[in-house]
Amino acid sequence: MSSKKNVDISKTIQDAENSCKQKYYRKNVGFFKLLEKIKLWPARSGVLHGIKSIKITSNTAEITTFCGESFVVWNSRNSRASRWLRNKLSFSACGKCKIPDWKIEKYTATTMTQKWGSGL
């Protein structure tokens, strides 16, 4: 009866850290640039939708989600959607959009900071 009590898990931890690599973005980056990069839309009900296409025209954008919804949004850094994306205030993912798990893990690992990170 030989049991291994001390198993080396350093490789497993390193693999987990590499798979969920933390990304840093600036907090006050343009709203449309953030949407184009993340490709997620927070609805007022707290559901995250996957963005299929974004058509930007000057100060507005037409967003189409994978579940078939289409709407027009204004470019504002202080809007509800931009604050919810930066602060991660969504509760669940849309079942119709079928957002992959890796995308949600990548979004949750992303940090928005004031002084550090990519300006997109």
pLDDT digits (tens, 9 = 90+) for 23-67: 777 777 888 998 998 999 999 988 899 999 999 998 999 999 999
Claim: this prediction has a pTM higher than 0.85:
no
C-beta separation of 109 from 117 below 8 A: no
pLDDT grade, residue 117 (50/70/90)? low
- CB burial of 95-120 (b: ≥16 within 10 Å; e: otherwise) equals eebebeeeebebbeebebeeeebeee
Q: How many CB atoms lie within 10 A of CB 60?
A: 12
pLDDT of residue 116: 62
The domain limits of the chain are: 22-113
Dihedral class, residue 58 (left if φ above 0, else alpha if ψ from -120 to 50, else beta): left
